[in-house]
Structure 1
Amino acid sequence: MSEIEKFTPWRQRKILTDIADTGAAALNTAEGAAFIEQLYKHLSPSLSAVAKSWGYHVDDDEIVNMIIERVLSTRNDSDKCPVRYAAGADDPWGYLWQCARRWAQEMWGTRGLPLEYAEFTGYEPFRENESTEDGTTLKEVVDSTLAILAQVIDPKHVEAVSELLWWIAINPPQRLSYEVDDRVAAHRHCPSLTIEQVVAVIKIARGSRHRTEETSLFGQFLKNAEFRFSDSGSHTRALTHFKNAFRAGERGSLALTEWI
């Protein structure tokens, strides 16, 4: 079987624009068929892995059909047409991936974070259809954390950091002896960030070792959706450390082999 090369950004924008303009007609072309192949090859495997981490087995056909149905059914949304927004994004495939993951979550939900997470974060996670006492959901935790981090990083990294935060949220840490493996897996999921940037995001989300409750943004937002980091000296210092580490990491390594 021949390898299916990933569309270039130009080619991604072209087919996404065609779909936004003509809908299903764009898919009934040779380029439309190639686009569907792209979904099978470059989006479905990752989304299938995410669904599995949520506790669901979803095959490639179901995932691709879901993406196509949502792309077509929302293309006439005058306020925000996802496929047209994707066509205009710096990373069209990355934007489409974000949309696909959100659609998947709406369809399947998540089963929350396993209880083992508490060993590292100092708080009890919650499961599907549950929330904390004040009604906080996992999406709110991720969105609130991203809103803070976005204030201190270059806008070009916001999409990748969002992707990484979701990976962290739905992939609980392994035992401390597997910490490096855990970080490598996170970097493999977000290869556009450097090693140093990946580590910085993991630390601010989960908290620094031995001081998780005082430095974890996830932990605080799970406890209190109205948490303001400016009210916590330890979290303010952790954010400053994150900002400096993330910016310094800009010139770090992107190579997975450097973890060894």
Structure 2
Amino acid sequence: MASVERFDLWRQRATLTELADQGGQFLNTAEGLAFIEQLTEFFAPGLKGAARGWGYDLERDEVVNMIVEQLLATRQDGEAGPARYAATAENPWAYLWACAVRWGQEQWGTRGVPIEAAEMIPMPIEDDESPHTPIQEVVDLTFALVAQVTPEKHHVAIRELLMWTAVNPPQRLSYETDERRAAHRMCPTLTLEQVIAVMKIARGSRPRAASTSLMGQFLLDPDFRVSSSASHARALTHFKNEFRAGETGSRMLSDWITHG
């Protein structure tokens, strides 16, 4: 399927919206079959590599079937399913990839995605002339720092949350609680307070977001050292304390309603 062309942003959104609206019926249409081709070409190879790292040798069809089954799973609590959330994400394919990795971990393993599989993440095409650090590198650099001050048992969840944060730029302040709730779906083992702590160290804290955001700094300078910035060093220490204090908090998505 080397000739399969990746859907542009508009088509990604349209396809996922149709899937959310029509469910399995959509997959019987021409566009539904084209969506299956997208999963086979752009998602299955990376997840196959991840599965091998977890000790499973899978075929592409098995990986695609897993993703489809999860997308069609009955919605719970009257909430929108992952297809609709992906359709509204800044980068739908990257959001869907993050979901697929979590589903794969639940079915086939608990470790992080191997380095070779990470290269298959369907991120936006980077401009060779761009002055900014590639998104995947920004995530890796940020994770390398926060991993030093957080328990190892949370590292998989933190990395997934950082990836979600990287491909979903902040929305208006009035949407902040909904946004954090959507992010929490990527890392349900974290508490509400821990999700907030990770997103704050990644994006920065108001009103000094620019001087406290690790991702923002790494986006501008991949060689940035936190020891060279007092504001970032203080933010990292504050993050460490907030994350630790949040360990006993709620992990219930429904609690975001009152937490916001």
Instruction: Place the TM-score, normalised by the shorter chain, in its bin.
Output: 0.5 to 0.7
Q: 230, 234, 242: which one pairs with 2:239?
A: 242
For the residues of structure 2 that align with 1:236 and 1:96, how far apart are their CA atoms? 27
Structure 1, unaligned stretches of length 5 or more?
A: 2-12, 68-85, 112-127
For the residues of structure 2 that align with 1:197 and 1:131, how far apart are their CA atoms? 36
The residue type paired with residue 110 of structure 1 is P
Q: 152, 172, 185: which one pairs with 2:149?
A: 152
1:42 aligns with 2:70: yes
Structure 2, unaligned stretches of length 5 or more?
A: 1-22, 24-50, 73-80
**Pair 1:18–1:242, CA change in 2 (3 A):** closer
How many percent of aligned residue pairs carry the same amino acid?
A: 44
For the residues of structure 2 that align with 1:50 and 1:159, how far apart are their CA atoms? 24
TM-score by length of 2: 0.61
Correspondences of 1:196-235 after superposition (within 5 Å): 196-235=193-232
* 1:189-240 deviation per Cα after TM superposition (whole angstroms, max 9, x unaligned): 2211100000000000000011011100011111111000011111111001
Q: 153, 158, 170: which one pairs with 1:161?
A: 158
The residue type paired with residue 102 of structure 1 is A
* 1:15-73 deviation per Cα after TM superposition (whole angstroms, max 9, x unaligned): x6452xxx66xx9xxxx96x76434323898699389643669x99xxx9xx9xxxxxx
Correspondences of 1:12-23 after superposition (within 5 Å): 17=55, 19=57
For the residues of structure 1 that align with 2:114 and 2:180, how far apart are their CA atoms? 21
- 2:255 corresponds to which residue? 258
* 1:136-194 deviation per Cα after TM superposition (whole angstroms, max 9, x unaligned): 21111110000000000000111100000000000111101111111111112221110
Look up the SS of the partner of 1:215 in the other structure.
Answer: coil
1:54 aligns with 2:66: no
**Pair 1:210–1:102, CA change in 2 (3 A):** same
The residue type paired with residue 170 of structure 1 is V
* 1:78-136 deviation per Cα after TM superposition (whole angstroms, max 9, x unaligned): xxxxxxxx9xx89845547777973543xx4415xxxxxxxxxxxxxxxx325653x62
**Pair 1:242–1:183, CA change in 2 (3 A):** same
Q: Structure 1 segments of 4 or more deviating over 6 A?
A: 96-101
Aligned 8 A contact 1:132 1:222 in 2: no
The residue type paired with residue 54 of structure 1 is N
Correspondences of 1:119-198 after superposition (within 5 Å): 128-130=126-128, 132-133=130-131, 136-198=133-195
**Pair 1:185–1:52, CA change in 2 (3 A):** closer
For the residues of structure 1 that align with 2:134 and 2:239, how far apart are their CA atoms? 24
Alpha-carbon RMSD across the aligned residues, in angstroms, is 4.1
